[in-house]
Chain A
Amino acid sequence: AQTVTQSQPEMSVQEAETVTLSCTYDTSESDYYLFWYKQPPSRQMILVIRQEAYKQQNATENRFSVNFQKAAKSFSLKISDSQLGDAAMYFCAYRSTGNQFYFGTGTSLTVIP
């Protein structure tokens, strides 16, 4: 089974600064997708960004971007110009060839005013 590892249980960032959340995964597959989800205190899981494994270009969505290093099996999330509303739990997820989803344990992000 695939595993997804988020080694930072907690992170903090000053408002307007940039923060990077780490994620690594273990797989022998070549066809997969990677995602970052945000879970604010409301508990709603919100899709932030996705990356297709066969695309070398890193995905970007406004202030959110990823650094996808396929050989290293690394998929980090960069949040630029951090805002108070970015405070949440962030989950990295892997979609396998068999359409199963595997989630990391999450990183709790605090934004300091």
Chain B
Amino acid sequence: DARVTQTPRHKVTEMGQEVTMRCQPILGHNTVFWYRQTMMQGLELLAYFRNRAPLDDSGMPKDRFSAEMPDATLATLKIQPSEPRDSAVYFCASGLGRLAGGLIFGPGTRLTVL
């Protein structure tokens, strides 16, 4: 049963610290999305990659957030420095081709910044 994996599942850190979240998309999927979910804002798109190239990262605060795909099996989302307002659940989702089959979501990383 193919699934998207995310690590860590939970992260508690102090303000100012660097946070790195990792995602392994489903093998063969060529599109990766990063979303952030909060009670107030709902699901927000942070970044979107196709064939490892970033296509849209307009939803991401550029001064502190960065997203990369070092290879086809790994996507990373980094926050440096982290702030309390970054506390949220971060989801990675992958898809194939024209995404007619929808996105398959990972379990999320719950981030708490103190």
Contact = CB atoms under 8 A, between A and B. Distances in A.
Query: Mostly helix, strand, loop or mixed at chain B's interface?
Result: strand
A99 interface: yes
A64 interface: no
Interface residues of A, number: 20
Contacts of A44: 105, 107-108
Interface residues of B, number: 23
A91 B103 CA distance: 13
B114 interface: no
B24 interface: no
A2 to B, nearest CB: 12
Interface in B42-86: 42-43, 45, 48, 50, 56
A101 B42 CA distance: 14
A89 B31 CA distance: 25
Interface of A: 33, 35, 37, 42-47, 50, 52, 91, 93, 95, 99-101, 103, 105-106
